[in-house]
Structures are given as C-alpha cells and as structure tokens.
Chain A
C-alpha cells in the first residue's frame, strides 16, 4: 500500500531522515519507534506531504506521490494526527470535525452565497460523516462540547475522528497515546485495533513499548534518522542493534 524508498530529509547539516526504505501492507499496524529526535515525526511529515523530501521516493497505492503536497495526500487517502493535537479549542467537537469531509465536496464560494442545493446537500453530508466518525471513536455524546472542556483522551479521539472524516485508507498517528495514563492508553489501543478491524491501515509513532509490542504487526526502528532495524515485535526485541541504540529509551519507556 505504502512504499518508501531511500527517503532522506536534510535540515541544513542535519539528516533528520537518512535513506529510509520500508513498506506497509494494507490492513496492518506498523509502529515506528526510536529515541527522541530520531526523525519519526519528520518521516511522517514526508509521507504526508507536509515536507518535501531531499531525496528518495514515496509510492502510495502504486502511484508516485513523492512530490504531492499535503492536501493532495489527504485526498488520496492518508490521514494523520499531530504529536500535539491542533484542534480549535474554542469550537465544539462537531465543528472541528465537520470540516474533515470538505475535501470530498465540490461547493465553492458561489454555492455558499446563493445557498445552492448542492451546498446544502454537501453540508448535510459533512455533518453526517462527522457524526459517523465521532460515533466510531466513541465520543458522539461530546459533539456539542467545546474542545477545551474535554479530556486529553477525548481530544485524541476527536483528532482521529477528524482524520476519519476525510475517508482515509491509511492513518498516521504521531504519539497518539502521549500524555495519557495507562488506563486511557489501554482504551486508545482498543480504538486502534478497531480501526484495523474496520479495514483501515495504521502507522503509529510511539514511545510506550508495551503498546508498540502488543499492537504492531511490524516495527521500524529509527536512530539518528537511519532505519536500524525492522521486523515483528519478537524480532525487534531480540535485535542487538536495537537494544544498544535504544537501551536508554526503552528503560525510559518502561518507567512511564
């Protein structure tokens, strides 16, 4: 589904992502791990089209999307959440999520000003998709609450709902369980499983090892921008390079 080859991103003298290749099978869960500053978020930014790569190639569903901008990637079916949720805190959850389906609509300014039939139909459709997504992530009853009043966990769910409203095939979740307590993390893990059960493909970045180990079908390990290992949780767990590069990080994660 997703095919990354020799992907490199250079910031000045720093190679944040350095010659990384991997691929993602449909309907699986891939975890990307690595110490702080390893280049995980940058990798997501490259895949999602938010940053242009310095070198390398990205293919999504057989199509070369290396230079596609972010809004084009969203249209092609990649949704993402950010390490810190960027939701608009003053608006309600529903108002935040409604906009997610806009990319599948065609109304422009003129339709809006004359209140055309198409615009009304598409508004309704966006609203329905938003409710559907909120129902999926389990926060439909919070639809009319301002985002700033809901919990961290609910915000993460709302961010996923916004992604789902774009009707994606692949979801990129950057530290979706960051800042959540163990119980909340457990529940979000349940949500990720549910996503895959419903046919979505998930890639996620995470520091919490138990979450990575129990969810991921495959794990990719980054260190200083380079991919130092890839495999099933068992393979990665036993990989000596990983243990060496990651020892501090793993100990840190275990302590969380």
Chain B
C-alpha cells in the first residue's frame, strides 16, 4: 500500500502546483508559453495513444488539430456560437472525421499507413490554407472569442484561460492514465507488441486500432479548439506537418508511451526554446540531432529514466531470477512426473 500512498501524494502535489503556477508566474508572456505547452501537450497525448500505445505512426495529427481549431473558430465567428458549444462541435467533427479516416487508413499497413495519414494531414492543411472564402487562407482568422464567463467569473482573463486549459490538460492526462492501466489500454499495447499474438488472444485488432485513432484525432481536435479560443487568432501554419513533427519531438523527448511524456516533452522543448537564446536561433539544429540520438540510444525518452534505473537493479538480480526459475520449474516438473 505504501507506494500507492506516495504516488497519491505526488499526484496531489503536482495538481496543486499546477493550480498555483499562474499565481507564482505572473509574467503574462511566460504564462502564455506555459499554456501553449499545455495545449500542444494535449494534442501530443493523442499522438501518444496512437503511436506510443498502439505503435502506429499517424502523421495527420496537425491536420486534425486544424480541423478542431477552424471548426470552433468558424462557428464562433460566422455563426456567433459561444465557445463551449463550438468546442463540443470541434470534438464531434474531429471524432467523425477521424472515424472516417480510420476506416480507410487502417486497412493499409506499416509505412503505407504513415504515408496515408501524412497525405490526409497535407490535404487538411492545404484546404485550410487555400480555401480563402471559408478560412481566409494565409491571412487567417482574427478576433476569435474566448471562453466567456461562467456567472460572475470571467474566463477570458489570462488567469481564467489558464485554468480552462489546465482543466482540459488534467482530463487528458487522466484519460491517458486510465487507458494505459485498463484492459482496453492493455489491448492496445498488445497490438503494438504483436498484432498476430493480440488477435490470437481474442483482441479484435481493427476495432481497437480504430478506437486509438479516433481518440488521437479527438485529442488533437480539442487541443485545436482550445488553441483558437486561447490565442484569439488562427492561421494555417499550425496545421502544417511541421507541427506533427513537433509533437513527435515532444513525445520522444518526454517519453513515448509514458504518461508524463507528452507534458514533460512539451514543457521542456518550449522552455528551452523560449529561454535559451541558442535554442531560439537554432532550435532544430539541436532538436533534430536530439531526436535522432534519442531514437537510437534512448527510445524511451526522459520518462523512462526511472525504469532504466530499476532495470539496472533488475539486471543485478538476474542471477537470483535464474535460481528462482530453476526451483519453480524443477518443482512443478517433478510434481507432474509424479502425477
């Protein structure tokens, strides 16, 4: 029970820290860096479900981010919707579109899937970029309303917006965590490990892949809607494939497949980029090689450090394992010989 108590204390502490953060960091600019990192982290949690849990490289994520962002922004600007129903609509649209894309894209395998989803992402990006009549093209949309107010409490202030995004982040982490530790989540991990084995133990692989894909697009869509409401303006550049690559970077630095990974990665990359001049000028000159080195030497990312330490300990116990094993199997073996 003890480790569980510790874990609970740790999680509570983090939650409180998150609540207190904007009170401590009062500089508006820094707050914005943090909130944007949260938003991209939410989208990256989606990517983690499809790539980290299920093992499928989906390169259309930024496209779905754009679908969510533009759905919400256009509903607010053109039809005068409120933020909240617009956000719900963004969720629904990215779910439905995600489902349609899932049906066709998941019939392809391996690299074809990556290329197919890349093409979907490019199409979404190009449509948003070129459809001047609807999206205002490269100029983008301005004056997107924020979350408004609940009763007397305004959510349109910096503080209010921070807490709105924060709540969504917590929900995203919660979904990622409970999925990771649930039977459906284990089914996704089984698929990543071996589709054949997963099928053989009764996992309807296609159905679970669709679930993972749709979740990933829903996360991306909601993150996009939050982005639109938070920034107040929106351009097609946030839907380009480079943003998908950024998510990939967050995921790999933070730790692919892990719970903390997306948030950790998004925060670290954002902070390094914002606060170190050298990163600002030569961001990808450094992060490109970092990505390569991580994937070669350290594919688990930062979140895998504790496990690696434990693993070293485990290796020390390898001899003990062998002995335990010998005793166990020998014992059961002779019991059977007797039976």
The reply to whether B202 and A74 form a contact with Cβ atoms under 8 Å apart is yes
Interface: B327 (CB within 8 A): yes
Task: Return the CB mask of B199-232 against A: 1 if under 8 Å, else 0.
Answer: 1111111000001000100000000000000000
Interface: A113 (CB within 8 A): yes
The reply to whether B200 and A138 form a contact with Cβ atoms under 8 Å apart is no
CA distance A52 to B315 in the complex (A): 43
Q: Which of A30-38, A101-109, A202-210, A248-256 contacts B (4 or more CB under 8 A)?
A: A101-109
Interface: B77 (CB within 8 A): no
With A105-B183, A107-B182, A119-B183 as known contacts, state yes or no: A154 contacts B201, CB within 8 Å: no
Interface size on A, residues (CB 8 A): 58
With A139-B328, A166-B202 as known contacts, state yes or no: A112 contacts B336, CB within 8 Å: no
Task: Return the CB mask of B114-135 against A: 1 if under 8 Å, else 0.
Answer: 0000000000000000000000
The reply to whether B201 and A103 form a contact with Cβ atoms under 8 Å apart is yes
Interface: B197 (CB within 8 A): yes
CA distance A165 to B203 in the complex (A): 13
Chain A residue contacts of B331, Cβ below 8 A:
138
- Nearest-neighbour CB distance to chain B for A105, whole angstroms, equals 6
**Which residue of chain A lies nearest to B171 when distances are taken between CB atoms in the complex?**
A113
Q: Which of B6-14, B36-44, B96-104, B173-181 contacts A (4 or more CB under 8 A)?
A: B173-181
Interface centre among B197, B200, B215, B328 (most CB of A within 10 A): B200
CA distance A70 to B201 in the complex (A): 8
Interface: A217 (CB within 8 A): no
Interface: A126 (CB within 8 A): yes
Residues of chain B from 179 to 199 with CB closer than 8 A to chain A in the complex? 179, 181-187, 189-190, 193-194, 196-197, 199
Chain B residue contacts of A49, Cβ below 8 A:
199
Chain A residue contacts of B196, Cβ below 8 A:
50, 70, 82, 86
Interface: A187 (CB within 8 A): yes
Chain A residue contacts of B190, Cβ below 8 A:
88, 99
Chain A residue contacts of B183, Cβ below 8 A:
99, 102, 105, 107, 112, 119, 122-123, 126
**Which residue of chain A lies nearest to B174 when distances are taken between CB atoms in the complex?**
A113
**Which residue of chain A lies nearest to B329 when distances are taken between CB atoms in the complex?**
A138
Task: Return the CB mask of B317-339 against A: 1 if under 8 Å, else 0.
Answer: 01001101101111111001101
Chain A residue contacts of B21, Cβ below 8 A:
none
With A138-B331, A138-B333, A140-B328 as known contacts, state yes or no: A166 contacts B201, CB within 8 Å: yes
The reply to whether A142 and B205 form a contact with Cβ atoms under 8 Å apart is no
Chain A residue contacts of B336, Cβ below 8 A:
190-191, 193-194
Chain B residue contacts of A99, Cβ below 8 A:
183, 186-187, 189-190, 201, 203
Q: Which of A2-10, A16-24, A145-153, A238-246 contacts B (4 or more CB under 8 A)?
A: A145-153
The reply to whether B197 and A69 form a contact with Cβ atoms under 8 Å apart is no
Task: Return the CB mask of A118-146 against B: 1 if under 8 Å, else 0.
Answer: 01001100100000000001111110011
Chain A residue contacts of B286, Cβ below 8 A:
none
Interface: A197 (CB within 8 A): yes
Interface: A236 (CB within 8 A): no
The reply to whether A141 and B327 form a contact with Cβ atoms under 8 Å apart is yes
- Nearest-neighbour CB distance to chain A for B331, whole angstroms, equals 7
Interface: A117 (CB within 8 A): no
Contact residue among B193, B203, B321 (Cβ-Cβ distance under 8 Å from A142):
B321
The reply to whether B182 and A79 form a contact with Cβ atoms under 8 Å apart is no
Interface centre among B174, B211, B336, B337 (most CB of A within 10 A): B336
Please list the residues of chain B having a beta carbon within 8 angstroms of any beta carbon in chain A: 174-175, 178-179, 181-187, 189-190, 193-194, 196-197, 199-205, 211, 215, 311, 314-315, 318, 321-322, 324-325, 327-333, 336-337, 339
Q: Assuming A88-B190, A99-B189, A115-B178, what are 7 further A-B pairs, CB within 8 angstroms?
A: A74-B201, A88-B189, A109-B215, A138-B333, A140-B328, A145-B324, A166-B202
Please list the residues of chain A having a beta carbon within 8 angstroms of any beta carbon in chain B: 48-50, 69-71, 74-75, 79-80, 82, 86-88, 91, 95, 98-100, 102-103, 105, 107-109, 111-113, 115, 119, 122-123, 126, 137-142, 145-146, 149-151, 153-154, 157, 162-163, 165-166, 186-187, 190-191, 193-194, 197
Q: Could you pull out 21 A-B pairs where Cβ atoms are within 8 angstroms?
A: A71-B202, A79-B200, A86-B196, A86-B197, A88-B189, A99-B183, A99-B203, A103-B203, A107-B182, A112-B178, A112-B181, A112-B184, A113-B175, A119-B183, A126-B183, A140-B328, A141-B324, A149-B314, A165-B201, A166-B202, A193-B336
